[in-house]
Each structure stands twice: as structure tokens, then as C-alpha cells.
Chains A and B, each alone.
Chain A
Amino acid sequence: MNSFSLLSEAINNRIVMKIHLKIWRQKNQNTKGQLETYTLDDVDAEMSFLEMLDMLNLKLAKQGERPVEFDHDCREGICGQCGVMINGIAHGPLKNTTTCQLHMRSFKDGDTIFVEPFKAKAFPVIRDLKVNRSALDEIIAAGGYISVSTGQAPEANSILVSHEEAESAFDSAACIGCGACVATCKNASAALFTSSKISQLAKLPQGKKESNKRTVDMVNRMEDLGFGHCTNTEACQVECPQDISVLNIAQMNYEYNKAKLVK
């Protein structure tokens, strides 16, 4: 089968859907937002969710209307930029998937899809589906780093890190900072995000000396920024695109309690 017949077969087997969208439109932080209804007649099932929004925006631009603003960057599920509430679930119905990795085949012809921005006091809406998540950067800036230069990559046998510890630290480091945990949490807590960074660093020997200060500074910053507290409902892990474990939160609590006790 040559490439032409493959292409024509793909075109012939194309599933085209009619999709109704209810999208949150909000001019800026100070205005009130509301849902607007749009209908797209020829949505391809193989389109990604963001491509479907691109299609809508093209249509809006042609009609002279303001396009829907939303965050996105890599569209490969690794940067953490995209993130909206789709039908009331952060990043939509699929497990461990970012918005950009959700495809229209997850919906049916004639479906109505609600699209809203992540909502939390610490995440003010900039416009439409775009929210300001710099509060997460501020938590990292409060201590999510090692402040001394550790130089070149060390000789592998001079500081031993067990395979399990290295893997576990890497699992914690997999957080992409999308903010789905905050949007999903009933208390709008950033505990999963903050703890993934704290426990990643706590598991590794570099920067051990400042681990107490780091933990207390990051947790205090998280509180100051107006995030809620963690009540261990574990919803954050369920909706996390990276399946970051809630046990990171337990480790953060351990590190924090330890830091407060030795102080």
C-alpha cells in the first residue's frame, strides 16, 4: 500500500463530530466572567483538545471576534503550561494526562463540553482560560534549589545514592507544575506541588545542610500566598498528569515537623 492510498483511506475513515462548547470568557482579573456557547461542526476525532480550540479560534478570528485565550507550550505533555477544567475535571476525563494529550476521540458526536480555567484565590484569571500560576514559581523561589554551587557532576562512587532513593527522587521531580492539584483540591492547597519539590531534594545528599530551612521557607511561602491546607483527600494525585504520589505530602510534613522540632 503506498502512502497516497494510506492517506486517502485515512481521509475516508475520518470521524467527524459536532461539538458544543461552553467556554469561560473573562476579559481580565477585575471583570466578571461567564460561559459562552460555541458550536463546531467538523471536529476530527483525531484532533487534540488544543487543536480543537485552535480551530474555534480560527473561526472566531475570521468572524472578527476575540479568540479564546489559553496557555500552552510544548503540546507534548511535558511542559505543564496547558491546563483547564474540562467537564469539571482538571485536564479532562483521562487519567494521568495533560490537556494537550487529550484527544477529541474521548468525546462523542453531539457532546457539550464545559471548559473553565483552574480556579483558586492564588491563581487569578488573566483572561479567559489563562490563569496566573506564578505563585507556584514563588514557592520554588523560596527555597526549591541548592544554593551552593555543586560543581561538575561528581564521581559516581564518591557520594552514594541508592537506586531506590534515586528513582524515588526522580518520581518526585516529575512534577510539571501545571497546577491541576490546586484546581482539584477542595481546599485549593498546593501541598502536592510544594511537597514534590521538597521531597525530591530531601531524598538526595546535595544541599542536605539547608534542608530544614528550605522546607520551612517553602511551606511558609505556600501559606503566605493564600493556598489552603492539605486534608489528605488524595484527589490531587488522582488528577495529577504525572501521578505524583501523595506520600510526598507526608514526607513534606515529616521534614517540616522535624525542622520545627530541631529549631
Chain B
Amino acid sequence: MALTGLFLCFFLIIHLLGNFQLLLPPEEAQLQYNLYSDFLSNNLVVKIISYVLYASILVHTLDAIYLSIKAKKAKGSSYVKDKRNRASKWYSRQMMLLGTIVFAFLVIHFKDFWFPYKFGDLSSDINGNKDLYTLVIVSFQKLWYVILYAVAILALGFHLLHGFFSAIRSIGLYNPTYNRIVKSVGVVFAVAITLGYFVIPLYIYLNA
């Protein structure tokens, strides 16, 4: 859980940095973004990493389902009066729900961008690269689509807020000072990823 989670965190950074190219001036962004996409889909190293990524998503999901079933079995009957929530953050208890939202979003995300790019019939830009840029820009002209993204990214943000430091704990970092640092880094990371991923659809929508 921790290892796949941290790998996915690493991927989020790379994916975000790549997507920042969408914020360039339109003509430049189109050529650069399509060139970048073409480079990613034809590079062997990236290809290997992408398979690790698919595997990580799958293992992370299956592990979550397994652990949820295990927790359900370990719990006794429920309390009539239950105030245990006072002791922990809501998002630390709702990782499965937040993860499910992120997973549902991923299905839509793959269907709308990954699938058309890999198997669809995309037109080419003037350099002859598949025009993923236009597909992205057109998609984010719709307000409901931007809202869908905002909800999913917010869920992702809370997922990371708990997930990042939790993963480091599961690996076994127990030094109190380092743990304080990791917790702060985790908050900065979660906020940065949330804002970063939200800025792009918002920018595209507002500049339409």
C-alpha cells in the first residue's frame, strides 16, 4: 500500500509538470504539448514506467479492497453511541471513499484522453504529431467537466493529506523530528498537487 502509494505520488508530480505546458501561449502550447505526448508514448523507458504505473494503480486498489474486508471482519458489532470520531481526522477514516472517487475519476480520465490518444482517430498538428492538445482544450470548455475535475482533485488532495505521511509511517520512519518534517511536507505536497491540478482546467476554461 505504502510503496504503490508513494510511487503514485511521484507520478503525480511528473504528470503535473508535464501538464503545465498547457499553460503556455496557445500556438506554442499546442506544438510543445503534442510533441511531449508523442515523446512519452514512443520512449521505451517511459513505456516501462507506465506499465509499473498501471500495476501500481491496480495493486493499490486491490490492496485497499482487501484491507477494507479485513477491517470489516475485525470489527465487532457497532456501538449504539459512537463518538470515536473525535479522535481522528475525517479524511484519515474515509480513505476508501476518497480513493473510490479518485478511481472513478481515473476511469473517466483514461476514457476521455488516454484511450482516444492510444486507439482513437485524432487529427495531427502541423508537425504531424497527434493533436491531444485540442482534445484537452475542447474538453475543458464545459463547466460541468471542470467541476467534475475539481471534485476529483479535491478528493485526491484529502487522500494525499493522509496518505503521504501514512505511507512513510508504514515503511517505518519513527524518528519524532523527521516525522514532524514528513507531516509538514505531506501537507505542502497535498496542497500543491491540489492547486496545481486545479489551476490547469480553470485556466483553460477561463481563457476559452
Contact = CB atoms under 8 A, between A and B. Distances in A.
Interface of A: 22, 24, 35, 85, 87-90, 114, 116, 119-123, 184, 186-189, 199, 226-236, 238-239, 246-251, 253-258
Contacts of A123: 76
B87 A231 contact: no
A116 B81 contact: yes
Interface string B100-131: 00000000000000000000000000000000
Given A119-B76, A123-B76, A232-B165, A89 B84 contact: yes
B74 A226 contact: yes
22 contacts: A85-B81, A87-B81, A114-B80, A114-B81, A119-B76, A119-B79, A120-B75, A121-B74, A121-B75, A186-B93, A187-B74, A188-B74, A228-B70, A229-B70, A232-B92, A232-B169, A233-B92, A233-B162, A247-B179, A255-B172, A256-B172, A258-B172
Binding site secondary structure of chain A = mixed
A232 B73 contact: no
Contacts of A114: 80-81
A257 B172 contact: yes
A247 B77 contact: no
B74 A122 contact: yes
Given A114-B81, A233-B88, A248-B174, 14 more contacts: A35-B80, A88-B83, A116-B80, A121-B76, A186-B93, A187-B67, A187-B74, A188-B76, A227-B74, A228-B73, A235-B88, A238-B86, A247-B176, A254-B171
B75 A238 contact: no
B84 A250 contact: no
A119 B82 CA distance: 11
B89 A233 contact: yes
B170 interface: yes
A253 B170 contact: yes
Nearest to A33: B77
Interface of B: 67, 70-71, 73-84, 86-89, 92-93, 95, 162, 165-166, 169-174, 176, 179
Contacts of B75: 119-121, 186-188, 228
B29 to A, nearest CB: 40
Of the listed residues A22, A122, A250, A257, the one surrounded by the most CB atoms of chain B closer than 10 A to its CB is A250
Contacts of B176: 247
B73 A121 contact: yes
B183 to A, nearest CB: 11
Contact of B76 (A90, A120, A232): A120
Given A119-B76, A235-B87, A253 B67 contact: no
B37 to A, nearest CB: 37
B202 to A, nearest CB: 32
A231 B95 contact: yes
Contacts of A24: 80
Contact of B92 (A184, A226, A234): A234
Contacts of B166: 231-232
B74 A189 contact: yes
Contacts of B79: 85, 88, 116, 119
Contacts of B76: 119-121, 123, 188
A180 B139 CA distance: 51
A106 B64 CA distance: 40
B169 A184 contact: no
A85 B83 CA distance: 9
A246 B92 CA distance: 14
Nearest to B78: A119
A236 B169 CA distance: 15
Contacts of A87: 81, 83
Contacts of B162: 232-233
A184 B87 contact: yes
Contact of B71 (A90, A119, A188, A250): A188
